[in-house]
Amino acid sequence: MRSEGIQIGRIYGIPIFLHPSWFLIFALIAYSFVSEFSALNLDIPTPQLWALGVMTAALFFGSLIFHEMSHSVVAKHYKIPVVSITLFVFGGVARIARDPTRAIEEFNIAVAGPISSFVLAGGFGLVYHFAGQNEVLKTLSGSLAWINCSLALFNLLPGFPLDGGRIFRSIVWGFTKDYSRSTQIAARGGQIVAYLMIGAGVLTAVTNYAPLGGTISGMWLAFIGWFILTAARQNRAQADARGALEGLRVSDIMTAELPTIGREISLEDYAREMMRTGRRAHLVVAHEQLVGLMTAEALHSVPQQDWDVTSVQAVMLPKEKLHWAAPEEPALSLLDRMRTIGMQQMPVIAGGNVVGIVTRDSILRVLQARHEVSTFARQ
């Protein structure tokens, strides 16, 4: 998941984002806590009751940040950059710049999250134990202890990409010594867990089975299962792609066709050129010299009503800020670099001259060709 939404700060140098979907789930969780406190029949005015519910919901999401920070701290211990932490409708996700290089690294990074949630559950449990007759504090701490314990147990399910699935992958990786193969096996396990969750959720929703939470909880369980299923499929596809690109160099995946545009043209004209050619990236030249890179992302950063009065030069990535690749660089290393800096296109430079460009389309062409060859070889 990309870092989208509102950045609310940094912890340990890692930017924390709130995805737009987070606001919906935050409101629902705050409301559920307000309902819990209301059931205690406390003599508390409604505004203060809502303030208490919002504070408890904030502590819950603080627990999620603590969970993701645990992953992140261990990742940074292994010199793996952490791009961001994003809170969204299903919880939180820490986005790292590259995958671990050893099975033990994967295991330690994955297991850190559930351990941190168990620690928080124990801490809130102690608060509950010593809360005495304070019903508000007992309800607050008891709820957070139960939630963190449930979060830890849920994440230990062997459903990739949950923490349990990543732990499972690290174990398979340790035995097979094959990262791609272990990812494929873990992803299949994730799909099985997801189908079981969807089935259980649909059955609960249809039968309104109270011990499992009834219709609403069943629908939510099925929705989470669908999310895990989608993520597992995506991770398996990524593993297949990385396996296909293993051993290749940048020169093998670049295109030598160098689409160029002038820096003086308007964004309106650039949009027409992009639609005509279907290319999402162009080198910007002036007097036959490279001055920058123009992309579809840069185009869409400007409101469409301003395209006719804005030039390419105003929004392009200038040459001095341009990241580039060497033809002999390993393809997988370049992909990891592009993911870290959030770029989908990168020029290839040799001897001071641009000799090609790596784009999403050029990578897909290589993947498709290798897939067709391997399919033909199996027939």
pLDDT at 19: 87
What whole-number percentage of the chain has pLDDT above 70? 95
The stretch 161-173 carries a mean pLDDT of 92
Quote helix, strand, coil % in the chain, to nearest 5. Answer: 65, 15, 20
Token reading at 355: 């000799």
Closest to 341 measured CA to CA, from 357, 361, 327, 321: 321
- What does the pLDDT read at residue 3? 47
Question: For residue 124, how many C-alpha atoms fall within 13 Å in the half-sphere facing its CB?
Answer: 23
What sign has the CA pseudo-torsion 367, 369, 372, 378?
A: negative
**pLDDT score recorded for residue 214:** 62
Whole-structure pTM value: 0.73
Strand partners, 7: 17
Residue 17: beta bridge partners? Answer: 7, 86
pLDDT at 215 over 70: yes
Q: pLDDT tens digits, residue range 43-68?
A: 777 788 888 889 888 999 999 999 99
Instruction: Please name the amino acid found at residue 220.
Output: W
Contact of 6 with 19, CB cutoff 8 Å = no
- Whether the predicted pLDDT of 239 surpasses 80: no
Q: Which of 197, 205, 206 is nearest to 224 (CA)?
A: 197
| CA dist list (Å): 216 to 89, 202, 228 | 16, 10, 19
Check pLDDT > 70 for residue 375: no
Tokens 């609960």 found at: 204
> Which is the CATH superfamily of the domain at 250-378?
CBS-domain (3.10.580.10)
Residue 320 DSSP class: G
Q: What pLDDT sits at residue 2? A: 47
The pLDDT assigned to 39 comes to 76
Mean pLDDT for the chain?
A: 86
Model confidence at 211, in pLDDT bands (50, 70, 90)? low
Token pair for 79: 């010199």
Any idea where the domains of the chain sit in the sequence?
Answer: 6-156, 250-378
pLDDT tens per residue across span 299-341 = 999 999 999 999 999 999 898 888 888 999 998 888 878 877 7
**Is the omega angle on the peptide bond into residue 161 within 30 degrees of 0, that is, cis?**
yes
d(CA 132, CA 154): 30
CB half-sphere exposure, 349, CA atoms < 13 A: 12
Which comes out higher in pLDDT, residue 291 or 241?
Answer: 291
Distances (CA, A) of 64 to 194, 241, 310: 22, 31, 42
Interval 175-193 mean pLDDT: 88
Tell me what pLDDT residue 1 has: 44
Give the pair of three-digit tokens for residue 99. 């995958």
